Amino acid sequence: MSEDLELLMAERAIQRVLTSYSRGVDRFDFESVRSVSAPPMTSFTTFSTSRRGASRSSAAVVEV
């Protein structure tokens, strides 16, 4: 396999992991987050909600 193809495949694999992690965080699906991480992992995440034009942010530290 050529070097360029190997690099492309490695980059795609990294992109898949980042996408799975992001989707897991967005959906509060921490099992999905665990599936792409190696223990122990700590993730600092911020959450934003909006009600009637007012926005509120929260932060969480998630141990995976």
Q: Please indicate whether residue 63 or residue 22 has the higher confidence score (pLDDT).
A: 22
Q: Which amino acid is at 25?
A: V
Instruction: List alpha helices for 1-64, DSSP H.
Output: 3-26, 30-35
Query: What average pLDDT score do residues 8-16 get?
Result: 94
| Predicted confidence (pLDDT) per residue in 16-47, tens digit | 988 988 888 888 887 888 888 777 766 666 66
The one-character DSSP state at 27 is: T
* Residue 14 confidence (pLDDT): 92
Query: What average pLDDT score do residues 44-59 get?
Result: 63
Token pair recorded at residue 13: 């694999």
The answer to whether the predicted template modeling score (pTM) of the entire model surpasses 0.75 is: no
Query: What average pLDDT score do residues 49-57 get?
Result: 62
Main-chain dihedrals φ then ψ at residue 36, nearest 5 degrees: -110, 10
